[in-house]
Amino acid sequence: MSEEVIILPSFIKDEMKKKDEQKLEEMQQEIDEAEAAQEDAAEGSEEEAPEEAASEAAAMQEEIEALKGQVEKLTGDLQEKKDRLLRLQADFDNFRRRSAKEREEISAVVTQNFCKDMLPLLDNFERAMAAETKDVEAFQKGVEMIFTQFQEVLKKNGLEQIEAVGQKFDPNFHQAVMRVEDPEKEDDTVAQELQKGYMVKGRVIRPSMVQVVSN
């Protein structure tokens, strides 16, 4: 199972580092104080009983060693945290670069597929332009077939026409450019569509340009 990537904000990392370093300083101060006390005890050991002085010195030495061990452990933990943060940052950078590359590849594939779907229309347009005919009706019928084919390609790629005429005006889908009076229709009803609007997979790419009833 891969390790979950957690990216900590810089101010949290700085605060963690500051606390760990402060703790190390406090423990180092305790060690220095204990060593100073041990030296003082050694200087005064001439006035104490030998056994008592030796026992006190041994106890101080044991405390110093324990504090040194804690300092070493805390230092190791701090270094481990730093290494882990660096690894997490590197993993995040790699993930960001990989995601950007994947998005570019997906975008390229989508564009390639769309262009591939458009190639038959391009072929038909070239044939129509190259053909010499005086039959206007046949030419018009050929253009209509190309137009139908063009609509099918766009629909296949997610294009949808926005319903407008007779619908309630919706600024999310319609752009009102004119207001007209029509007693037979309710206010804010779309009376006429001046330019068709379209969506791609539910997202508006161009709103319908409409006339709206305002009595």
pLDDT digits (tens, 9 = 90+) for 83-104: 888 888 888 889 999 999 998 8
pLDDT digits (tens, 9 = 90+) for 161-206: 999 999 999 999 999 999 999 888 899 999 999 999 999 988 999 9
Computed from CA positions of residues 147, 152, 155, 160, in that sequence, does the dihedral angle turn out positive or negative?
positive
pLDDT of residue 59: 77
pLDDT of residue 3: 45
pLDDT of residue 6: 47
| Whether the predicted pLDDT of 119 surpasses 80 | yes
The residue among 182, 186, 189, 185 whose CA lies nearest residue 167 is 189
Task: Report d(CA 88, CA 101) in Å as an integer.
Answer: 20
Higher-pLDDT residue of 64, 2:
64
Residues paired with 192 in a beta bridge: 211
pLDDT of residue 1: 42
- What residues contact residue 34 under an 8 Å CB cut-off, 6+ apart? 60, 63, 64, 67
What stretch of H or E contains 213?
Answer: strand 208-213
pLDDT of residue 2: 43
Percent of the chain predicted with pLDDT > 70? 82
The overall average pLDDT reported for the chain is 82
pLDDT digits (tens, 9 = 90+) for 28-39: 777 777 667 666
Mean pLDDT value of segment 20-46: 67
Task: Report d(CA 158, CA 30) in Å as an integer.
Answer: 71
| Whether the predicted pLDDT of 7 surpasses 60 | no
